[in-house]
Amino acid sequence: MSIQEENIARLVERRAAAREGGGAKRIDAQHAKGKLTARERLALLLDEGSFEEYDMFVQHRCTNFGMEKQHFDGDGVVTGCGTVDGRLVYVFAQDFTVSGGSLSKTMSEKICKVMDLALRNGAPLVGLNDSGGARIQEGIDALAGYGEIFERNILSSGVIPQVSGIFGPCAGGAVYSPALTDFTLMVKNTAYMFLTGPAVVKSVTGETVDQEQLGGASVHASKSGVAHFAAPTEQEGIATIRELLSYLPSNNMEEAPRTECNDPVGRVDDALNAIIPDNPNKAYDMYTVIGSIVDNGRFLEVHRDFARNIIVGFARMNGRSVGVVANQPNVLAGVLDINASRKAARFVRFCDAFNIPLVTLVDVPGFLPGTQQEYGAIITNGAKLLYAFGEATVPRVTVTLRKSYGGAHIVMSCKQLRGDINYAWPSANIAVMGADGAVNVLYAKDIKADPEHADEIFEAKKKEYEDLFSNPYQAAQKGYIDDIIEPRNTRFRIIRALEQLSGKRQSLPPKKHDNLPL
Catalytic residues: 172-173, 407-408
Cα(227)–Cα(185) distance, integer angstroms:
6
Q: Do 217 and 189 form a contact (C-beta atoms < 8 A)?
A: yes
3-state secondary structure of 194: strand
Q: State the DSSP code for 336.
A: B
Closer Cβ to ligand HXC, 199 or 518, answer by number: 199
The residue type found at 136 is: I
Q: Could you give the C-alpha distances from 305 to 104, 226, 239, 339, 481, in angstroms and in order?
A: 35, 11, 19, 11, 32
178 binds ligand HXC (CB under 6 A): no
Instruction: Determine which residue in the list 44, 143, 201, 261 makes contact with ligand HXC, applying CB under 6 A.
Output: 143
Beta bridge partners of residue 301, listed in sequence order: 313
CB 138 to ligand HXC: min, Å: 8
Which residues within the stretch 8-27 sit at the binding site for ligand HXC (CB under 6 A)?
Answer: 26
Nearest alpha carbon to residue 367 among 280, 277, 434: 434
Among 99, 292, 341, 470, binds ligand HXC (CB under 6 A): 99
| Interaction between residue 173 and ligand HXC (CB under 6 A) | yes
Q: How far is the CB of 202 from ligand HXC (least distance, A)?
A: 14
Which of the ranges 49-57, 166-174, 274-282, 436-444 carries the binding residues for ligand HXC, by CB under 6 A?
166-174
Length of the chain: 518
Q: Of the candidates 72, 90, 92, 146, which one interacts with ligand HXC according to CB under 6 A? A: 146
> Considering CB under 6 A, how many residues would be counted as binding ligand HXC?
16
Cα–Cα dist 185/92, whole Å: 15
215 binds ligand HXC (CB under 6 A): no
Which of 80, 161, 172, 365 binds ligand HXC (CB under 6 A)? It is 172
**What is the distance between the alpha carbons of residues 37 and 27, in angstroms, rounded to a whole number?**
7
Residue among 89, 118, 134, 317 that touches ligand HXC (CB under 6 A):
134
Please identify, among the stretches 71-79, 127-135, 227-235, 453-461, the one whose residues bind ligand HXC according to the rule CB under 6 A: 127-135
Nearer to ligand HXC, 76 or 249 (CB): 76
**Residue 216 in contact with ligand HXC, rule: CB under 6 A:** no
Question: Residue 455 contacts by C-beta under 8 Å, 6 or more apart in sequence?
Answer: none
Q: Which of 46, 118, 171, 336 binds ligand HXC (CB under 6 A)?
A: 171
Binds ligand HXC by CB under 6 A, chosen from 37, 79, 94, 102: 102
Alpha helices in 369-434 (DSSP H): 371-375, 378-391, 406-411
Q: How far apart, in whole angstroms, are the C-alpha atoms of residue 160 and residue 180? A: 13
Residue 398 phi/psi, 5° resolution? -120, 135
Q: Check binding of 100 to ligand HXC (CB under 6 A).
A: yes
Determine which residue in the list 115, 174, 217, 362 makes contact with ligand HXC, applying CB under 6 A: 174
Cα gap 61→143, rounded to integer Å? 15
Distances (CA, A) of 421 to 13, 256, 437, 498: 62, 21, 30, 9
Query: Are residues 67 and 77 in contact, defined by beta-carbon separation less than 8 angstroms?
Result: no
Q: Which span (1-9, 128-136, 357-365, 429-437) binds ligand HXC, by CB under 6 A?
A: 128-136
Q: Which one-letter amino acid corresponds to residue 265? A: V
Q: Which of 80, 124, 132, 390 binds ligand HXC (CB under 6 A)?
A: 132
Cβ atoms 508, 391 nearer than 8 A? yes
Residue 108 in contact with ligand HXC, rule: CB under 6 A = no
Instruction: Based on the shown chain and the rule CB under 6 A, indicate whether residue 135 belongs to the binding site for ligand HXC.
Output: yes
172 vs 249 by CB, closer to ligand HXC: 172
Which residues make up the interface to ligand HXC (CB under 6 A)?
Answer: 26, 99-100, 102, 132-136, 143, 146, 169, 171-174
